[in-house]
Structure 1
Amino acid sequence: MEKIYSLTGFAEEKTENFKFTIKSYNHRFLEIYFQMPDFFQNLEQKFKNLIQEKVRRGKIYVKIELNSFQFPFQLKINKKLLKEFVLFFKEIDPKMQYFPFSVLQKESFIIWEFEEDEKILKELETGFNLCFDKFLKSREEEGEKLRKIILKIAKELKNNLAKMKKRLPELKDEIFSEYKRQIETIFENFKFDEERIAQEAALIALKVDAMEEVERAEQFTERIIEKFKKSKNFQGKEIDFLTQEILRELQTFSQKVKEKNLREAAISCKLLNEQIREQVQNLE
């Protein structure tokens, strides 16, 4: 059985010097955002390529933080830029006694110089791979939960449609008998061929016959169940299309059938169909 992945996932991993966090949310396309120390930016594209190989869509956030300073780097101040800022503020306020240090948080006064260390780079890549594997596992587990939920809803929808289908032949006979009685009552003083009256009543009953709509809705529901059982070449968009077709058939059914119980059953089916559609939005 092919794996089904949820669009939402979360994972964390810690190594000696780093903390990794990967999380994702529902999104129509694949968008990847990184937040990591500047001196490791050259690895961003490598990590992004790895994500693109495994993930088709979703909004993904990757955060890599330092949790230790046990590796070779130097922290320097950009003295030239700092001096220019001091002169600038003195021009604005010659009597300035205190420098607004809050500006340092927004400008590039701090320079990180990192000496590439093979051990540190290996730790960074290994930590990311471990976190990414956990992330994929979380999406898979969530996808499996959604599969079970959707299958349960789809089977309930199928059972409801089967009950509606069972009632329709009886309803058709009742409608035929009622229309035949009305025609005979209206034209009781005229001579009409019984076969002709039966034909007219049958034509009227046929116009309100909704068996085809129920059968098509059943077929679409069965395809959804089959997709989630086998999950071969699974596409969430295809399931979304099938739910739209089911809704169209149920709307036509409601226009044709006037019996209260069947109309209420159709509303229940629409609600179940909408639940399937909402859950499918969370699948890759």
Structure 2
Amino acid sequence: MNTETLLLRLRAELDDGGLRGSFLVRDLRTGYEIGIDPELEFPSASLVKIPLAAATLERIRRGELDGSAPIDVEPGRATTPGPTGLTRFRHPATVAIDDLLYLAMAISDETAADTLFALTSPAEVTRLTREWGIFGITARHSVAELSDTPAERFDPTDVHLAHALAINAGTDGQGHPVPQLDITRASSGSARAFVGLLEALWKPSKVDGEVAARVRELMGLNLLRQRLSPDFVSDATKWSSKTGTLLNMRHEVGVVEHADGGIFAIAALTESRVPAAIQPEAEVLMARVARALRDHLRAG
């Protein structure tokens, strides 16, 4: 199947499944790539934790922070489904910066991430990514704001109303009355921008080698594997990734390393037109599209 035919088929599948997305797969050995609307910008949700981790580790490398330093963390007191880790703790805890990085990346712990943001502001995270020559990713707010949306204000039986608002209230320019969904106010990025970040972490770049290696390790420890992972994990591959979820948006970016030496950076950022909180079919579809793009690029 030629590239044009494949892309038409995958666009139709996404549309039939109620999804719009920004996808990009890049062969990190050759630089060849294939994508669907890779420049389309989305609120990044928890994907912002990747540049946050890199920025924190860079400041540790420079001696501005001590990775072993204990940080007092107040409990998150989360009462809604979703948040994990320290966010659900009932009592204060003391956690080292290095361990906060693990919690933020491996289980997407919001309290851990915001404790790190208190040390390195969103503006500083953005500045460091620009310093590394990575453009198109912007950190603008705390991660706790991702759990302060209309969905948390509805009774669980009415959560579809929050998703209907998310789906129907946006503007053509991607503005939105829900600030976390407005790309001018939310942390944001595109598939191309996140693949650029992944390439900088997996290949020699302006990112310090030890910093990049630790971010790769943290992404390899990701325990949230319900989206792209089933299509990329095997005995002959290593999959390292980070997910992001916000109302009707489901994202994942990662790198698959094959035993034969192949290495592909993959970004899938999606939004659904279906007003439902739980959509396993959407996750299967986004994985199938990402896998088809990778398979086509690998076969070429």
TM-score category (smaller protein): under 0.3
Whose radius of gyration is greater, 1 or 2? 1
**Higher relative helix content:** 1
**Higher relative strand content:** 2
Under a length normalisation based on structure 1, what TM-score does the superposition of the two structures give? 0.26
